[in-house]
Structure 1
Amino acid sequence: MIIVEEVQNEKQKKEFLEFPRRLYQRDKNYIRPLDKDIEAIFNPEKNKFFRNGECQRFLFKNKKNETVGKVAVFVNKLYTQKQPTGGIGFFDCINDQETANFIFDYCKQWLKARGMEAMDGPINFGERDKFWGLLIEGFIEPLYGMNYNFPYYVDLFENYGFKIYFEQLCFSRPVFGEVSRVFTLMHQKHKRNPAISALPMKKNNLEKFARDFTEIYNKAWAAHGEGKQMEEMKVLKMFKTMKPIINEHISWFIYENEKPIAMWMNLPDLNQWFKYLNGKFGPIEKLKFLWYKKFRKNEKMVGLVFGVIPEWQKKGIDGYMIWEGTQHLRKHTDFTMTELQWIGDFNPKMIKIAENLDTTVTRKLATYRYLFDRNKTFERHPVL
């Protein structure tokens, strides 16, 4: 017998956060997400997706009142799919198919009652940049904001009937790895051009870099795949939020006569510091974070955005930027590895760009889909 509890009071909220800690306590690669990051997702005052959606969390307990699973289930009117599709996320479960099936069945009925015909998971009740997908390959320490799970979760999902809607590919390369000869040749070529210059991002001039970022992004990515136009003020706000963790040696902008033409944005992987805080970020943990940030080497950086405006694409300016930035960060930082944020397998253009950066796939996640009508033909995410 499984008992279902909707998460409503503080005790239940705490259990929703603590259950994964107990479940993964012997897994050396598990890094507990910050409690505040999880709780913000389920706070209507902090998560704008509540304006167009509904979300509930549930705990699942055995007859001994021990938690054996948890999940969040939600609908989002802006999540437009071929059929009305809801989502499940923040799924954790013991290694037991019957328990997982009970949880999935419960989610299915909850979504059916709200007019849904399918469910995707594990996904976020929010943007795709955090807590999206099930880890299926590369069971190593997760990046900040990235889902992590046991390998047996794949069986729990697939045995129930979920199918992969799209794969999420994470590309990495060692900072001190050999750089493509093409990149070094392009660097030599553009280095001779006095109109071309490279600048690392500086904290004391965020207004300029927010303006330049917005211009490059909107030209390079807005019409590329599922890109959206960005507003300069929103970018500036984002940069100011990021300011405490910006490393001035690892984000680069390229200019032609002061006109921004390319950018390569990176941040330190915060999990390399957060993994010592056990999910907490109160006053004491903030002091610990500052101490670790100052004295504990962080050897992993995360590639956020790489973009070149259309008129400079396929001219080798990316090679110039990568070699210019790499030479600098090798001298001035402790980073030994860079990993790009995931790219969907439905986006071959982006994958080609990642491959051209001399990267290799080091982990994969998957967004699964389950159609309630089992006779309906399953279709993967369309290629962009």
Structure 2
Amino acid sequence: MMEATPAQQQPVTKEALVEIKPVTSRKELGQFIDFPHDLYEDDPCYVPELFIAQRDLLTPGKHPFHEHSSLQLFLAWRKGRIVGRIAAILNNNHNVFNNAEDGFFGFFDSINDQAVADALFSTATQWLKKRGARTLIGPVNFSTNETCGLLIEGFDTPPVAMMPYNKPYYLDLLARAGFEKKVDLFSHKIVEETVNDKPQKMMQLLRQRLQQRNITIRKIDMRNFKAEAEKIREVYNAAWDKNLGFVPMTLAEFDYTAKDLKLIVDPDFVLVAEHEGKVIGITICIPDINQVLIKVKRGRLFPTGIFKLLLNKKKIKAIRIIVLGVVEEYRKMGIEACFYGTIMEKGRQKGMQWADAGWVLEHNDLMNNAIANNINGKVYKKFRIYERKI
């Protein structure tokens, strides 16, 4: 990576002039969503986001984030052509929960041109500064509960479901713009041929020991999905509350996410640990739907994308472990091992070839070591969240 150079020291030429415009219309929102499709047109690892999902995510009144916080989308133009995009995000819930004055940038994409990137970051910074932010953090698409991080290692394979992807040159764009590392996130790859079978072999014994303590593990009851989702939300907010940058999900936000996941989830991969009827641990795994979406042109389900989705869903050969956690007082009792053992067992029954366990904070030694030592997972992708002072 090249040594960072302050943007203000770089010469500005007529060719480098960039115009940044706020997104204010439905047409411009469509252009904002579609820009990456053109930027990554020839990239075999690029997976288009579904247009409908992105549109609803970014539209006030559609996604519950907008009930408590705000954002502004910007497009970078040069000579009548879109050359970049960014979202300036003020997450009020994050700042209240963490007693912070942070601003975020997300949905960042740019051609390989420092002048474009600098103009986008400058515009986002000014928007957030006017609203009291003192630090710019990103890329984070609303919060760490959603897609976040810049891919810094593992450019050779497509992203799995709900994980980011970007060009390698983005690292230089951020470094030259004065951003520094805040934290790295790891994704582990667990391959069927090389996975350590110990959790699966010990599963029956562990379950028996847990049952002696009135702890049981079961799969989610899809017939009572709404009630189950509320129990899972409580554990999610309790088990992850000490994670860096965490912000609790509101009931509306969790319901929104749960409804999306319900469309693709396999209940055999959503497990709940209970102690005398109280939920104390959860794991949520989803099929890697990106193996299908990578073939859906420009993220449009209609007219033909929906058929690709339906026809190829059964061909998916990987899962992503999105969430696996236990509330603090119940950790190191074997619940996590039972989760992994059950996932292995069901994955083999369903012909899954590998799993992605991510992301995990770099300093979460308990989880990183457990994945590496207990099931032979290997870190195969790394993501970074950056920051700079405003």
Give the TM-score range, shorter chain.
0.7 to 0.9
Matched, 1:281 2:296: no
Normalising by structure 1, what TM-score?
Answer: 0.81
The CA distance in 2 between the partners of 1:43 and 1:240, in whole Å, is 17
The CA distance in 2 between the partners of 1:57 and 1:190, in whole Å, is 50
What does residue range 28-43 of structure 1 map to in structure 2 within 5 Å? 28-43=44-59
Shift of 1:268: 0.8
Matched, 1:27 2:43: yes
Shift of 1:338: 1.2
The CA distance in 2 between the partners of 1:371 and 1:239, in whole Å, is 35
Inter-CA distance 207–255: structure 2 relative to 1 (3 Å threshold): same
The worse-fitting range, judged by mean Cα deviation, of 252-261 and 302-311 is 252-261
Shift of 1:228: 7.2
Name the SS of the counterpart of 1:110 in structure 2. Answer: helix
What does residue range 205-220 of structure 1 map to in structure 2 within 5 Å? 206=225, 209-210=228-229, 213=232
What does residue range 1-384 of structure 1 map to in structure 2 within 5 Å? 1-63=17-79, 65-80=80-95, 84-124=101-141, 126-139=142-155, 140-179=157-196, 181=198, 183=199, 186-187=202-203, 189-190=205-206, 198-204=217-223, 206=225, 209-210=228-229, 213=232, 221=239, 224-225=242-243, 239=258, 241-253=260-272, 262-278=281-297, 279-282=299-302, 284-294=304-314, 297-308=315-326, 312-331=330-349, 333-355=350-372, 357-358=374-375, 359-372=377-390
Inter-CA distance 176–311: structure 2 relative to 1 (3 Å threshold): farther
The CA distance in 2 between the partners of 1:73 and 1:99, in whole Å, is 16
Name the SS of the counterpart of 2:174 in structure 1. Answer: helix
The CA distance in 1 between the partners of 2:278 and 2:171, in whole Å, is 48
For 1:20, the aligned partner's letter is P
The worse-fitting range, judged by mean Cα deviation, of 68-77 and 204-213 is 204-213
For 1:280, the aligned partner's letter is R
What does the per-residue CA deviation read over 1:101-122, in whole Å, with 9 as the maximum and x for residues that have no partner? Answer: 2222222233333333221122
Shift of 1:259: 7.0
Shift of 1:75: 2.3
The CA distance in 2 between the partners of 1:284 and 1:265, in whole Å, is 30
For 1:266, the aligned partner's letter is C
Name the SS of the counterpart of 2:88 in structure 1. Answer: strand
The CA distance in 2 between the partners of 1:229 and 1:72, in whole Å, is 21
Is the Cα–Cα contact under 8 Å of residues 212 and 260 in structure 1 kept in the other structure?
yes
Is the Cα–Cα contact under 8 Å of residues 171 and 340 in structure 1 kept in the other structure?
yes
Inter-CA distance 245–257: structure 2 relative to 1 (3 Å threshold): same
Name the SS of the counterpart of 2:386 in structure 1. Answer: strand
For 1:286, the aligned partner's letter is I
Shift of 1:197: 6.0
Inter-CA distance 74–335: structure 2 relative to 1 (3 Å threshold): same
Name the SS of the counterpart of 1:111 in structure 2. Answer: helix
Shift of 1:173: 1.0
What does the per-residue CA deviation read over 1:211-269, in whole Å, with 9 as the maximum and x for residues that have no partner? Answer: 76467657x71665477778999878865553332223323345678776654321112
Counting aligned pairs with the same residue, the percent is 27
Q: Which runs of 5+ in 2 are unaligned?
A: 1-16
Is the Cα–Cα contact under 8 Å of residues 88 and 125 in structure 2 kept in the other structure?
no
Inter-CA distance 254–45: structure 2 relative to 1 (3 Å threshold): closer
For 2:123, the aligned partner's letter is Y
Is the Cα–Cα contact under 8 Å of residues 186 and 316 in structure 1 kept in the other structure?
no
Normalising by structure 2, what TM-score?
Answer: 0.80
The CA distance in 2 between the partners of 1:119 and 1:168, in whole Å, is 18
For 1:66, the aligned partner's letter is R
The CA distance in 2 between the partners of 1:178 and 1:342, in whole Å, is 19
Shift of 1:45: 0.3
Pairwise CA RMSD: 3.3
Q: Which runs of 5+ in 1 are unaligned?
A: 373-384
The CA distance in 2 between the partners of 1:211 and 1:55, in whole Å, is 27
Shift of 1:59: 1.5
Name the SS of the counterpart of 2:205 in structure 1. Answer: helix
Is the Cα–Cα contact under 8 Å of residues 187 and 358 in structure 2 kept in the other structure?
yes
Instruction: State the aligned residue count.
Output: 365
Is the Cα–Cα contact under 8 Å of residues 343 and 350 in structure 1 kept in the other structure?
yes
The CA distance in 2 between the partners of 1:273 and 1:203, in whole Å, is 24
